[in-house]
């Protein structure tokens, strides 16, 4: 059993697709093990995306991530890191496969509605960034 971190980003919350995103997870055998709604500060967004701090889009990305509330979740299931990435679709929504969350709801390479950890080590860091062990059920 594997765990990963998902975030419904501010553009997903604004589009009112929280239920739709969770529905797709559950329909694909993924269990929500923790969930909350938060509104990040710029500093919190910078800490979360610290691996991207040298990227030209870092400032814009962290502004976007604190532009409104978002919904971090811990997802659990067999092979859930890869399964979640598959349901999300490619980072650039123009390259995302039909039927993926980003194909259906993203509006730019930045506003791409969901985040998902890409490996076990990043999943562990990212889950710990938002949740303590008592909040994961
Ligand atoms: P992910 O793992 O698919 O989310 O993609 P990355 O880890 O490469 O990038 C993190 C996030 O940064 C993406 O989900 C986008 O929101 C944003 N991003 C990635 N590439 C670009 C880019 O070229 N320009 C801008 N403005 N944002 C980007």
pLDDT (tens digit per residue) in 88-110: 999 999 999 999 999 999 999 99
pLDDT of 122: 97
> Measured between alpha carbons, how far is residue 123 from residues 17, 64, 94, 102, 130 in Å?
23, 21, 26, 20, 11
**Quick check: CB of 108 below 6 Å from ligand 1?**
no
Q: pTM here?
A: 0.98
What are the residue ranges in the chain where pLDDT is below 50?
none
CA distance 137 to 107: 33
Catalytic residue, from 115, 117, 126, 130: name it: 115
**Quick check: CB of 129 below 6 Å from ligand 1?**
no
pLDDT of 2: 98
């Amino acid at each position: 059993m594997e765990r990963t971190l998902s975030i419904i980003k501010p553009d997903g919350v604004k589009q009112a697709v929280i239920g739709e995103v969770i529905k797709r997870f559950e329909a694909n055998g993924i269990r929500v093990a923790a969930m909350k709604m938060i509104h990040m500060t710029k500093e919190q967004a910078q800490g979360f995306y610290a691996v991207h701090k040298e990227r030209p889009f870092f400032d814009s990305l962290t502004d976007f991530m604190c532009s409104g509330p978002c919904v971090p979740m811990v997802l659990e299931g067999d092979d859930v890191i890869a399964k979640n990435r598959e349901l999300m679709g490619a980072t650039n929504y123009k390259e995302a496969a039909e039927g993926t969350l980003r194909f259906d709801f993203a509006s730019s390479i930045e506003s791409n509605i969901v985040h998902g950890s890409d490996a076990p080590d990043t999943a562990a860091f990212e889950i710990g960034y938002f949740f303590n062990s008592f909040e994961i059920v």
